């Protein structure tokens, strides 16, 4: 793309953004428990949140 990034890098960023958006929706609702279950089920989450 124009900024020297590959399509794969852009797609990865978009996927991460969408995952965070889903988590924020759950967090703002009633669901910390739902959020934790979702986080444990997601691959790669340990890289984002080392404490989990």
Q: Do residues 25 and 33 lie in contact, with contact meaning Cβ atoms separated by under 8 Å?
A: no
Q: Where are the beta strands (DSSP E) in the chain?
A: none
d(CA 49, CA 7): 25
Helices and strands, number each (H, E), in the chain: 3, 0
pLDDT in tens, the chain (52 residues): 568 889 999 999 999 999 999 888 877 766 666 666 776 766 555 565 555 5
Q: Is the pTM of this model over 0.75?
A: no
Q: Which residue has tokens 């929706």?
A: 25
pLDDT of the residue at 28: 72
pLDDT of the residue at 22: 86
pLDDT of the residue at 10: 94
């Amino acid at each position: 793309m124009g900024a020297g990034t590959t399509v794969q890098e852009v797609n990865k960023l978009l996927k991460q953004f969408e995952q965070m958006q889903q988590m924020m929706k759950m967090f703002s609702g009633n669901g910390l428990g739902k959020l934790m279950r979702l986080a444990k089920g997601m691959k790669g989450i340990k890289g984002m949140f080392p404490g989990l």
